[in-house]
Amino acid sequence: MADLTSDFVGIKSPNPFWLASAPPTDKEYNVRRAYEAGWGGVVWKTLGEAGPPVVNVNGPRYGAIWGADRRLLGLNNIELITDRPLEVNLREIKSVKRDYPDRALVVSLMVPCTEDAWKAILPLVEETGADGVELNFGCPHGMSERGMGSAVGQVPEYIEMVTRWVKQHSRMPCIVKLTPNITDIRKPAMAAHAGGADAVSLINTINSITSVDLDLFAPEPTIDGKGAHGGYCGPAVKPIALNMVSEIARAPEMAGLPISGIGGVTTWKDAAEFLALGAGNVQVCTAAMTYGFKVVQEMISGLSQYLDEKEMVLSDLVGRAVPNVSDWQHLNLNYIAKAKIDQEACIKCGRCYAACEDTSHQAIAMSDDRVFSVKDEECVACNLCVNVCPIEGCITMERVAPGATDLRTGKSVPAEPADWTVHPNNPMAVKAAE
């Protein structure tokens, strides 16, 4: 099996799979079970300052979104940071790190936005022997109303300021966890970079309400007749997370800034996609909460087998797809493809026909005996038919070779790429390249 040993900002672990800061990493019992199951590292659930205790709700804490087969697609949580005493967490962190020196153990932190608060907690964490700290600038509920979490993460100046404090008052590697509840993820990332962060991690949860109880007329989960917005995570957020990771990875201002990828990682393939888009490792939460800690074993074996088949090592995969992430105006407008239906695989359900006829380009014909065929003269290669077809591989998109005639336009397919350029008199407009 391929060697999955990871070195992320000097923090070594036997594989790049870490448990994210969340309920699965809330106490010693869980973390020991996680390490025994095979996780390479954990980010201990967010600690706060000593003082008045954090009080969580004693009722439902999760809302959910399911697929048609009852498969969990997303969780919305209204849980706060740890409600266990700081001294108990610190004692357990020290004990776990002593017994598992080869595993990564990073501590998530959230305290008020004052230098004294950060200066006070950092030595306590450092004394445990933890490998690093992750600054929680992402939580969108509960703590943000107190001027912490995403209330800090949405203000780049605060991110840079707090990161500088942490680097000034601690020798530990500092990872800054970013909120997705912002227009341009590059701005907080650049602020963390300017403040001296060793890495960024993203995404934290997305501000959300997953559902409404139509009898109580209140958001779910419902506490005594009322509900609140919470943080959304799980497989459904993966596309958003991948995009934000890639935006940072390809930004020249942050070239080389290590990224810990978070958001919907459920399988080894999900992890590989994050790594290919520039993440140095991945953090997982919802998958462990859905399937248990041993889900990591499939991730480890799957990623190892993939790397072996590709004759790659882990470092070869990191960032491999970043050069191919482009902006729309640089896509090749002379690339032409058409849909093709495999008649042997087709089950004649008609989904492709209905979708194309009603909502696309009327490019699929249906015969009297329900044989479906593509009308090349109408097909624009939107690939809607591929996505609605229930049989994987039944419909594919095949490139029309340069020099051949595009039946839709009647013109020869050019061999040279063509993109769009900025209009010289209006930067907000585009025109076809000559």
> What confidence tens digit (pLDDT) does each residue in 108-125 have?
999 988 999 999 999 999
Q: What pLDDT shows up at residue 297? A: 98
Task: Name the pLDDT band for 432 (thresholds 50, 70, 90).
Answer: very low
Lookup: tokens for 259:
């990224």
Q: Is 144 exposed, middle or buried (0-12, 13-18, 19+ CB in 10 A)?
A: buried
Check whether 342 has a pLDDT greater than 50: yes
Whole-model pTM? 0.91
Q: How large is the average pLDDT for residues 59-63?
A: 78
For the cut 60, the answer to whether the pLDDT of residue 143 exceeds it is yes
Q: What is the 3-state secondary structure (H, E, C) of 60-104?
A: CCEEEEECCCCCEEEEEECCCCCCCCHHHHHHHHHHHHHHCCCCE
The position carrying tokens 């962190």 is 93
Domains defined for the chain, CATH in brackets: 6-324 (3.20.20.70), 328-432 (3.30.70.20)
pLDDT at 140 over 80: no
Q: Please list the residues that pair with 74 across neighbouring strands.
A: 65
What secondary structure letter does DSSP report for 264?
-
Going 315 to 318 to 320 to 323, the CA torsion angle's sign is: negative
Where does the pLDDT of residue 152 fall: very low under 50, low under 70, confident under 90, or very high at 90 and above? confident
Task: Give the active site residues.
Answer: 139
Overall average pLDDT of the 245-262 stretch: 96
Label residue 187 left, alpha or beta by phi (over 0 means left) and psi (-120 to 50 means alpha): alpha
- Confidence band of 427 (pLDDT split at 50, 70, 90): low
In 255-410, the DSSP E strands lie at 259-262, 281-284, 337-341, 364-366, 372-374, 395-399, 405-406
Average pLDDT over residues 229-233: 84
Answer whether residue 144 shows pLDDT above 70: no
Give residue 207's pLDDT band: very low, low, confident or very high (50, 70, 90): confident
Cβ atoms of residues 397 and 383 within 8 Å: yes
Predicted local confidence at residue 288, as pLDDT = 95
pLDDT range class, residue 434, cuts 50, 70, 90? very low
User: What is the per-residue pLDDT for 429?
Assistant: 55
Contact by Cβ (8 Å): 13, 100: no
Per the prediction, the chain carries an average pLDDT of 91
Long-range contacts of 301-305 (CB under 8 A, 24+ apart): 301/1, 301/268, 302/267, 302/268, 302/269, 303/2, 303/4, 303/15, 303/268, 303/271, 303/272, 304/1, 304/2, 304/4, 305/1, 305/2
Give CA–CA dist 163/180, Å, rounded. 18
Mean pLDDT, residues 203-221: 90
Pairing label, strands 364-366, 372-374: antiparallel
Instruction: Say which residue, 164 or 224, is predicted with more confidence.
Output: 164
Structure tokens at 42: 């954990």
> Mean of the pLDDT values across residues 132-157?
77
Model confidence over 353-406: pLDDT tens digits?
Answer: 999 999 999 999 999 999 999 999 999 999 999 999 999 999 999 999 999 999
Q: How confident is the model at residue 162 (pLDDT cuts 50, 70, 90)?
A: very high
Return the H-helix or E-strand segment holding 26: none
Phi/psi for 428 (5° steps) reads -85, -10
Sign of dihedral through CA atoms 141, 146, 149, 152?
positive
Q: What is the pLDDT of residues 275-322, one digit of tens each?
A: 999 999 999 999 999 999 999 999 999 999 999 999 999 999 999 999
- Which segment of 257-261, 308-312, 415-419 scores lowest on mean pLDDT? 415-419
Kindly give the pairing relationship between strand 281-284 and strand 17-19.
parallel
Is residue 34 scored above 50 in pLDDT?
Answer: yes
Q: Enumerate residues 6+ apart whose C-beta is below 8 A from 216.
A: 222, 225
